[in-house]
Every structure is written in C-alpha cells, then in structure tokens.
Structure 1
Amino acid sequence: MSRFRALWQASVNATKRALAWNVEDMMPASEKCIFNFHSKEEIDKWHLYSDSEYGGLSSASLEITDSGSGLSGIFSGNLSTDVTGDCRWKINRSGFCGMRSKKFNGFIDLDAYDTIAMRLRGDGRCYISTIYTENWVNSPGQQEDNSWQAFVLVPKGSWHTVKVPLEQYLPTWRGNVIDVNLEMNPARIVGMSLSVNAEAAFPGARAGPGDFRLEIDWIKALRTL
C-alpha cells in the first residue's frame, strides 16, 4: 500500500509540475522587440517618404552608424516649407518626412501588450509614431491601412526611453485625427512609421523648416499591466 501511495504521490507531483510549466509557458514575455537598429540590414526593412513626392523640397535619409556605444539608426534630413515652381500637385502643406516599415510578412500580434517603447535620442523636435493595422473597411475603393498616431517629444542631446500606451494612439486619416468610435486591433498590426513635420505639436518643441535628426536604438512592445 505504501508503494502505491508513493507512486500516486509521484504522479501527482509530476502533474503539478507539468501544469505549472504549461501556465508559465503560455504567459507572454514582458516585452517583444519589434525593430532594432543594430545592423546594416535593418535599413532594408524601411522606406522613406517626404513632401518631395508631391512637389515639396524636404529630404530625408536613414543610415546605420556607430555612435560610440554601438550601432544605431539615424533618421535625418531637411524640412522645407517651399514647393517647386512647376509643382503639378495641389498640396495643403509641405515640410514633412517619414520612415515607414515595409509591410510585415502577414502581420504581428501585439494583443498581449499595452505599450510601445522606443529608445531615442532626439533634437528637440516633436515626432509622430504611427501604427498601421488591417483596414476595417472591406471595400475595393478603400485599400489603405488603418493608421493610429501619437506624438513623441524627445529632449535634445541624450538617450531617452519613450513609452506610449496603445490607448493613446488616435485613429487618423491622411495625417488628420478622425472623430470616429474605433478601437485599434493590436493583433493585426501590419507596419509602423516615424515621421516629422515643420509644425510643432508640443509647446516648447523645436519647429519650423531646417535640419532634423533622430537617433533610434530599438522599438519594442511592453506588457506593463
């Protein structure tokens, strides 16, 4: 009888260990790295855009350099509020540049996370973080991804880890916040971007035409709750 009890107890203990392991294994990690800028290959994941596509004169570049403490990305360029004399486009404003990730292979699922974190070194300008999700409108005439934006102000001169809760990202349409009752679906994220324009979105932020420079170490999703 004692041998049976020993076998039974051993089986119970093994089951408890298995259940405990399964629960821990199912819990998502506290953070998920989405992008890091620690290799030259990272540039291949992004493409640049600016008002120059519509007759503006702004320009941007993205490169990976060694800042002395390791490799990081540098998004830099020049913001101009002018347009070319022979501009064929009627644009409401110029003076913007951005770097947008190429579409993921399908999508990434950030449903288990509540915050986007970015380690940045800025220039005093206000930048815009955008998350793109699958379109909620299943229509041939509406092919653009949903976009959700939040402002990011990085003090000049030193590294900062900026944390933006997902709930602070607002739905936008072509750069303008739209007044609709929508919730982001973080399980279907198809891309991200960082952009800058000549208009300051925060009091005290550097504004106007001229050079810009944002150094990027990594972009992660965090589970803080």
Structure 2
Amino acid sequence: MSRFRAVWQASLNATRRALAWNIEDMMPPSEKFVFNFNSKEEVDKWHLYSDSEYGGLSSASLEISDSGAGLNGIFSGNLSTDVTEGSRWKINRSGFCGMRSKKFSGFIDLDAYDTIAMKLRGDGRCYISTIYTENWVNSPAQQEDNSWQAFVCVPKDQWHIVPLDQYLPTWRGNVIDAQLEMNPSRILGMSLSVNAEGGIPGARTGHGDFKLEIDWIKALRTS
C-alpha cells in the first residue's frame, strides 16, 4: 500500500510541475531582466569596439563601479575624429565607440514583451541602442544579423528608465525604408554605441570624453 501511495504522490507532483510550467509559459512575468550590470561576470558578456580597429583614435572601456547604491557598469572612453596617419584603412569617418553583447548559446525570446527599458545615467550625449535578430533573408548575399536601432538620449547626471518600444530597421547604420517587422523571439544580441556627431538637437556632440552608467536592461510588457 505504501508503495502505491509513493507512486501516486510522485505522479501528482509531476502533474503539479507540468501545470505550473504551462501557466508560467502562457502568462510570463510583466518584466524580464535581459542584462544586469552588477558583477564582473555580467560585464564579461560584452566586448568593445571602436574606430581604432580601422585606423581611428577613439578608445573605450567597460568596467564595474560601486555607485553607493550598488554595483553598475561604466561604459566610458574618448571620441576622436582624427585618423592614424598612413593608415591602410580608408574610412569615411571616425569618432565612434560601442559595446556589444557576445553571442548567446541560442536566442533570447522576448515575444511576450513590447518594450525594452534601460536604467541609465548619461552625460548629455545621445547613444544608440541596437537589437540584433536572426536574419530572415538567410541568403549567401546577406549573412549579417538584422539590426534594429533607436536613440537613447539620457539627461546628464540623472538616473532614468528609458522605454524603447520602437526600433527602426537599419543596414550598416542607415535606416532601411521598408516595411519590416522585428522578430522578438529570435534576438541574438544587443549593443550600445556613441558617435561624435549625430543624435537629436540639443544633445552633446563632438570629440572628447564620454561616460554612460548602466544599471540594467529589461524587457517590459506594457499593454
């Protein structure tokens, strides 16, 4: 009798776990952490890039800092519009730096969410948020990931939660004039970048230092 009771209890527990999984799958939480910049391990999920790879003189770093209220990431550096003399690279412009998440083992599925939010403290510059998704074209002529971009303009020295619910499709930094829809269930990575020029009117531009403090990146369901 005790053996039957044990088998019955094990079956009941398995059923409960299955039901709990199904409910969570159908009704995901209203927000989901994508990245949390609260440890060196989290920062190690990103790599840096800049125009220095092509003969420019800009530089960038990504470190963990204690703001007093907890740990957060610091993306900082110097933007230079100069080019190394005699460089073999022929670039049209310099003055850009960025940080991009390393490849995931699979995809991030954000299909249940409609907004990307970031808790940031800026320096008056306008930054660019990019989401990379699986390439729907999937042809030998077009093998790069699809990229979707939105401006992130954060007032100087103020913490802000920035909702970004409308990204535009881009190709190598230029907006594509086409009716395309993002596939949020197949996200391959994200990036934040800054240019010496560009952005919205009133934003700080030009060569010089930049600094962006990053607490977290989340997906939100607002509707």
Which secondary structure state, in structure 1, belongs to the residue aligned with residue 92 of structure 2?
Answer: coil
The structural deviation recorded for 1:21 is: 9.9
- For 1:152 and 1:87, locate their aligned partners in 2 and report how far apart those are by CA, in whole Å: 32
Change (3 A) 1:20 1:50: closer
Change (3 A) 1:21 1:125: closer
Partner of 2:133: 133
Partner of 2:44: 44
Bigger Rg, which one: 1
Partner of 1:100: 100
Change (3 A) 1:190 1:211: same
Backbone CA RMSD of aligned residues:
1.7
Query: Is residue 2:34 matched to residue 1:34?
Result: yes
Query: Is residue 2:176 matched to residue 1:182?
Result: no
The structural deviation recorded for 1:80 is: 0.4
The structural deviation recorded for 1:22 is: 5.8
Partner of 1:88: 88
- For 2:75 and 2:43, locate their aligned partners in 1 and report how far apart those are by CA, in whole Å: 10
The structural deviation recorded for 1:180 is: 1.8
Native 8 Å contact 1:135 1:146 kept in 2: yes
The structural deviation recorded for 1:42 is: 1.2
Q: Deviations over 1:128-158 (max 9, x none)?
A: 0000000122222322100000001000012
Change (3 A) 1:204 1:136: same
Runs of 4+ in 1 over 4 A off after TM superposition: 19-25
Change (3 A) 1:218 1:20: closer
In structure 2, list runs of 5 or more residues that go unmatched. 1-18
- For 1:65 and 1:206, locate their aligned partners in 2 and report how far apart those are by CA, in whole Å: 24
Matches within 5 A, 1:133-152: 133-152=133-152
Change (3 A) 1:22 1:90: closer
Native 8 Å contact 1:125 1:200 kept in 2: no
Q: Deviations over 1:44-63 (max 9, x none)?
A: 10000000111110000000
Q: Which residue identity lines up with residue 86 of structure 1 in the other structure?
A: G
Which secondary structure state, in structure 2, belongs to the residue aligned with residue 41 of structure 1?
Answer: helix
Which secondary structure state, in structure 2, belongs to the residue aligned with residue 132 of structure 1?
Answer: strand
Change (3 A) 1:80 1:20: closer
TM-score (normalizing by structure 2): 0.88
Identity of aligned residues (%): 84
Partner of 1:220: 218
- For 2:188 and 2:99, locate their aligned partners in 1 and report how far apart those are by CA, in whole Å: 15
- For 1:189 and 1:62, locate their aligned partners in 2 and report how far apart those are by CA, in whole Å: 22
In structure 1, list runs of 5 or more residues that go unmatched. 1-18
Q: Deviations over 1:100-147 (max 9, x none)?
A: 000111101100000000000000000000000001222223221000
TM-score (normalizing by structure 1): 0.88
Q: Which residue identity lines up with residue 38 of structure 1 in the other structure?
A: N
